[in-house]
Amino acid sequence: MSEKQPSGSASGRSGDYDAVVLAGGGARRLGGADKPGVRVGGRPLLDRVLAACAGARTTVVVAGPRPTARPVTWAREDPPGGGPLAALAAGLPLTGTDRVVVLSADLPFLGARTVGALLAALDAGTADGVLLTDPDGRDQPLVAAYRAPRLRGTLAHLGAEHGGLTGLPLRLLTAELNLTRVPDPVASFDCDTWDDIATARARIREHGLVLDEWISAVKDELGIDLDVDTGVLLDLARDAAHEVARPAAPLTTFLVGYAAARAGGGPDAVAEASRRATALALRWAEEESADPTAADPAAAAPTDSAPSGSASTDPAASGPRTDPGPQTAPEPRPDAG
């Protein structure tokens, strides 16, 4: 295939990079399961990695085509299953920037922040690449950012030296490159076994992570790319539940989202709709507890007084009077709780 040229300057600016994701391995330690499609936190592993490199100008996935959460370019090594160097050589010609992020498709905890940090470290030095190391200090060359020209040249050299790249190990590539290493035991965690999958699924449900994981999963499922202040929405849900009724919480947050969308979307629209709904919930609660006559002085004044100078104390003197009887208590507020 012909190499795609970049559409603009390929300088070291943060948004100017391409990504190659290797997703065509045999997953032998998973019994041949479709590892990129295994779900962690309700999302396929491949989609989680694609979310981490969503800022790439071009994302090439080296594997057989499949549905993904966002559009990508597909490539395939020949023959399929030829190993990571052959896969990388198949995907790299479809990129065009001078920086390329190379990722495996089994990284459940990789995020955009880590990708940005790899690129920033590459820009800050003169190394050929920057890669993560795992808790044991081992290189993870498939969680890395490389200078694309140097990567292309090294792959060409290895292919010529060995008569092709099929079956060659990644260590041959890293041995040829000047690399900076960054320890990261979380982002470098990859899923090679079912025990790894179980560990990842348990970790995302830990108290400190579950909410962010859930919000990310929902946004991916709905195709939403929006950063909002979840604390504002949680406060709104709390106020609606406490000041109105518990079922009001999810209904109010839904209406806030709808109103924000009609206002053009974005964090500011969400914040403004949340502010107004929160103020309404507080007014609602104040109205229930306030003296109903306090806001209307006329309502507290007597409406029927005896004429001046009258000394009559006989109730009959002023005509019949209707006794309202015992006051009826107001209907209780509906509360599902």
- Per residue in 125-170, pLDDT (tens digit) is 999 999 999 999 999 999 999 999 999 999 999 999 999 999 999 9
Beta-carbon contacts of 9 under 8 Å, excluding residues fewer than 6 positions away, are: 16
Q: Which domain holds residue 241?
A: 226-289
CA atoms of 259 and 241, how far apart (whole Å): 19
Mean pLDDT (whole number) for 71-91: 94
Give the number of domains in the chain: 2
pLDDT at residue 192 greater than cutoff 50: yes
Q: Does residue 144 lie in a domain region?
A: yes
pTM more than 0.75: no
Helix/strand/coil percentages in the chain, nearest 5: 40, 10, 45
3 within a domain of the structure (yes/no): no
| pLDDT digits 0-9 by tens, 289-337 | 766 665 555 544 554 544 444 444 444 444 444 444 444 444 544 444 4
Whether residue 185 lies inside any domain: the answer is yes
Residue 131 placed within a domain: yes
Q: Which of 256, 272, 289 is the last residue of a domain?
A: 289
pLDDT score at 336: 42
Whether residues 198 and 230 fall in one domain: no
**pLDDT band per the 50, 70, 90 thresholds, residue 175:** very high
Sign for the pseudo-dihedral over CA of 152, 157, 162, 163: positive
Structure tokens at 333: 């507020």
Of 5, 141, 138, 38, the C-alpha closest to 83 is 141
Asked if the structure places residue 335 within a domain, the reply is no
Please tell me whether residues 250 and 160 are part of one structural domain.
Answer: no
| Strand partners for 39 | 44
Label residue 210 by pLDDT band (50, 70, 90): confident
Closest CA to 107 of 26, 52, 179: 52
